A and B are shown apart, each in its own frame.
Chain A
Amino acid sequence: MAKDYVFLDSVNIKNVLFAHIIRSSIPKGIISSIKIPKLPKGFYCLRAEDIPGKNSISVFSQGMPLLCDGNVNYEGEPILVICGPGETDVLDICNNTLIEYETDYSIYSFENFSRFQVLDEKKFTRGAVESKFKETDQVIEGEYTTRIQTLPITYPLGAIAKYKNNILEIDTASQWPFHIQKTVSDICNIPRKAIRVNIEPYHHTYDEKLLIPSIYSALASLLAVKSGKQIKIIAEPSEILSYSIKRPEVRIYRKSAINKNGKIVAEDIEISVDIGAYPLFTDELLSQLILGAASIYSITNLRIKALAIKTSSPPMNVFKGCGIGLGVFSAETHFSRISVHQKKNPVELRLEYLSKKNQKLPSGGILKQISQRELLNKVSYESDFNRKYSAYEILKKSQKGKLEDPVTLRGIGIAIAYTGNGFTRKREQKEAYSMQVKLDQNDKLYISSSSNGSAPGNIWKSTAGDILGLEKESIEIVKGDTFILPNSGPSFLSNDLSIMTNLVEKCCIGIRKQRFKKPLPIIVKRSFKSPGDAVWNSEKLKGMPFNALSWGAAVVEVELDPIFMRPIIRGIWTVFDIGKIYNIKAARSTAESEIYEALNWATGGGELFHRPISSYNLDEIEKIKLPAISIDFINDSKRSSGGISQLPDAIIPAAFVQAVSQASGIYFDTIPITPEIIFKYLEKK
């Protein structure tokens, strides 16, 4: 059995000081006084004025204060940290600390935001949108909303820090250890080379380990320097849920101009996203929302405006990627709405607007190998989409107005999209992605990278083993810290697969060339460089947005439970083209897990298992079973892998919403959909 890993919260250390954050209890105001009980000997308090360096956590030149500087901007903003030898005593002091505020009650909301709340804005225009809308006969519009999503499970977050012999040592599980090193250096005024970040392994992540560990590491480090003792700071599960990461609420208004021949001639899209009190990854978020909203369909005249709205909510953050799926949701749901208006089959309408010759993506970039048509045709064939769609349309019409006593409420939806590997190329270019591979005298191979916390180790091992003819047992993924491992930038699973696996290949090929010619050990280091000319321009929508693209199409079939209006999944069919597949079993397993996650989001945490409607007969035992999920791949080994983890989030919710819309006969334009929301819409109707 694999060795049991001890998480930071279960690590027992002698003479450690436990730290706890005191957060603001109001969303907006000014701190007028802080009354801390007298601290016993060995207890310490940390406030904004104690920070020797910059009081800021920043990423891509946007950021927020580490500790509140007097002006509270969201509920839960860290104000001070108390540490001491006993956890219970520290909590007692925190509970007895009194903070008084002056508040003007001017809370910023997302619902009806004002112009001054717009923190960032991106615009894109192609063609003559305005004139096309003036000439047009018909306009189809819709507003698509994806609500805030919180973590469905909280994995331990925190840090342990000690300052000894002028070296600051931090233990934490992070997707971006070199960001911690930089942040702590700026905040503590300690040179980077004196900060060692030990990279603890982690597994499943919603990207909460990208930025949040930097916050906990910085707080622990400041206290470690101040007290001279080892500090342990672990976030409470409720703290993680409320203040770590959330998927932001996004509203996308789409307006399509349809000409006399029924052609979509122009689209006008306005995106607004609630970024919370401070901008974190906002620029990237806006870029990826534009990418998703621009869709994969060729519409000649296109205008997109994306606004980042400041509110009094805790700062949002990246959540399983940077928001491309939220844009896709609006595009795919809107396209299906157009197909209903035009009385066309949704697959046919999509095929009509997919690029044919130039294979050019509307959001920028030329595709050398194109599979969208194949994906759409395959998924619709496997799910028998066309027949079912027509049958359910007839069923819907025959039951119109009879919702009080319906026979069967069934629907089917389809979606297609692409996602990328982590950040867009513009960002990627600025980050260092390095990998080092060493072959020693005993023919043992060591793969070193700072993304080893979640590294797809087996894939790296089999890639290296194939190139150098080594057994897996003689290959080791080096565990370690920022002193010995090369900087591999921010780690996303898709990055680790596409960029880092590619670097493993390059390093091993480098070793193969030198092997038997040069004495061992041979060390080869390679860094990733994004091709400059192809870097994506978010203002002009030119160039390839990502280093590697993954494509996917999905069909979701649902039946509405006529009593409780609960959507029951009848079947899900998916086809993916993710480039080179290193391990088909692992890819299938990841796809299945992510499909459930996406459904969980789309249903607002509703029950996903298939429970036959007949089982409401109380004499029968309710026997739940898994919904039928079909996962298929178009294996294109020539393209580098783009990863699969973000795709289901982009395509499943859109297909699900269309299916529920057809089943109920009501247009849904929001995620999640719960039975309460269905009832509300039915009442309105």
Chain B
Amino acid sequence: MKININLNGKDLLLDSPPETRLVDLLKSSAKVQSLRTSCYKGICRGCSIFFNGDLVSSCLIPAFQARDAEIITFEGLKKLEEINDILRSFDDLEFDPCDFCRPGKIMTIHSILESYSDPEDYQILEAFEGINCSCTSKSTLLESVKRSAQYRRRRRRARNI
């Protein structure tokens, strides 16, 4: 089965067996290395991608549904300037998620910042529900999302002047 996708701005034609999940296709055929497969139930969010603009768990999407989809993985997100808002807050707070959950956490924070300019605790906690990696503390996570939002607001304000 041939599947056309736009991955991080590049058009790709991938060959996939029919029953493949999108996460496996991206890992094996598109050589995406930032995706983590832990639960295959859409809970752990290690395989988070932006699928036509929405943050989703790619383990829940059959590969065939990705036809003509625009997909952004952590590799693509890293190229955006806005990502620095998040990384700066990580540095400020010495927040250092492990290699396993870092891509998923940054993707989730980016998605929160896209939805809320000044996120409240419950909005952050709900977005992170299911991400179980306990390499970092939850209170520092909350703080770093809020600080990232601060940087993002500042950047947007500056852009509008």
Contact = CB atoms under 8 A, between A and B. Distances in A.
Interface stretch (B63-71, B132-140, B149-157): B132-140
B58 interface: no
A561 B156 CA distance: 43
Nearest to B99: A5
Interface stretch (A45-53, A190-198, A300-308, A591-599): A591-599
A6 B32 CA distance: 10
Contact of A10 (B27, B40, B94, B126): B27
Contact of A625 (B31, B99, B125): B125
B54 interface: no
A204 B39 contact: no
A624 B38 contact: no
Interface in B96-123: 96, 98-100, 102-103, 120-122
A151 B120 CA distance: 30
A609 B121 CA distance: 11
Query: Among A7, A201, A629, which residue has the most Cβ atoms of chain B within 10 A?
Result: A7
Interface in A564-623: 585, 588-590, 592-594, 596-597, 600, 609, 622-623
A2 B90 CA distance: 11
Nearest to B91: A1
Given A88-B17, A204-B133, A237-B37, A626 B99 contact: no
Interface in B17-51: 17, 27-28, 31-40, 44
Contacts of B37: 9, 237
A5 B37 CA distance: 15
A527 interface: no
B103 A154 contact: no
A4 interface: yes
A407 interface: no
Nearest to A204: B135
Contacts of B98: 203-204
Nearest to B75: A4
Nearest to B98: A203
A497 B42 CA distance: 35
B61 interface: no
B142 interface: yes
B94 A154 contact: no
Given A12-B31, A624-B125, A626-B142, A237 B120 contact: no
Q: How large is the interface on A (under 10, 10 to 19, 20 to 34, 35 or more residues)?
A: 35 or more
A101 interface: no
A622 B125 CA distance: 12
Given A88-B17, A153-B132, A203-B98, A589 B140 contact: yes
A174 to B, nearest CB: 16
A594 B99 contact: no
A623 to B, nearest CB: 4
A7 B78 CA distance: 18
A7 B99 contact: yes
Chain A CB within 10 Å, residue with most, of B31, B36, B40: B36
A15 to B, nearest CB: 15
Interface string A180-204: 0000000000000000000001011
B100 A204 contact: yes
A448 to B, nearest CB: 22
Contact of B122 (A10, A152, A590, A623): A623
A153 B122 contact: no
Contacts of B44: 153
B134 A594 contact: yes
B125 A596 contact: no
B33 A626 contact: no
A596 B136 CA distance: 11
A155 interface: yes
B137 A154 contact: no
A87 interface: yes
A626 B139 contact: yes
B12 interface: no
Q: Chain B interface secondary structure, helix, strand, loop or mixed?
A: loop
B138 A592 contact: yes
Nearest to A623: B122
A585 B94 contact: yes
Given A624-B122, A625-B125, A237 B133 contact: no
Report the contact-size class of chain B (Cβ under 8 Å from the partner): 35 or more
Contacts of B27: 9-10
B60 interface: no
Contact of A204 (B36, B134, B137): B134
A7 to B, nearest CB: 7
A391 to B, nearest CB: 28
A9 B28 CA distance: 10
Nearest to A241: B39
A633 B98 CA distance: 25
Contact of B38 (A4, A237, A590, A593): A237
B26 to A, nearest CB: 10
Contact of B132 (A7, A10, A152): A152
A596 B99 contact: no
Contacts of B139: 592, 626, 629
A87 B28 contact: yes
A665 B99 CA distance: 45
A622 B134 CA distance: 24
Contacts of B17: 88
B13 interface: no
A4 B121 contact: no
Contacts of B140: 589
Given A596-B134, A626-B142, A10 B121 contact: no
Interface string B79-102: 000000001000000101011101
Nearest to A88: B17
B21 to A, nearest CB: 12
Contact of B78 (A1, A238, A589, A626): A1
B41 to A, nearest CB: 9
Nearest to B86: A1
Nearest to A615: B122
Nearest to A154: B38
A593 B122 contact: no
B137 A588 contact: yes
Which of B87, B98, B99, B102 has the most chain A CB atoms closer than 10 A to its own CB? B99
A600 B78 CA distance: 33
Given A623-B122, A626-B121, A201 B138 contact: no
Interface of B: 17, 27-28, 31-40, 44, 74, 78, 87, 94, 96, 98-100, 102-103, 120-122, 125-126, 132-140, 142
18 contacts: A2-B99, A4-B102, A9-B27, A10-B35, A87-B28, A155-B38, A155-B100, A203-B98, A203-B135, A204-B98, A204-B100, A204-B134, A237-B37, A237-B40, A590-B137, A597-B134, A623-B121, A625-B121
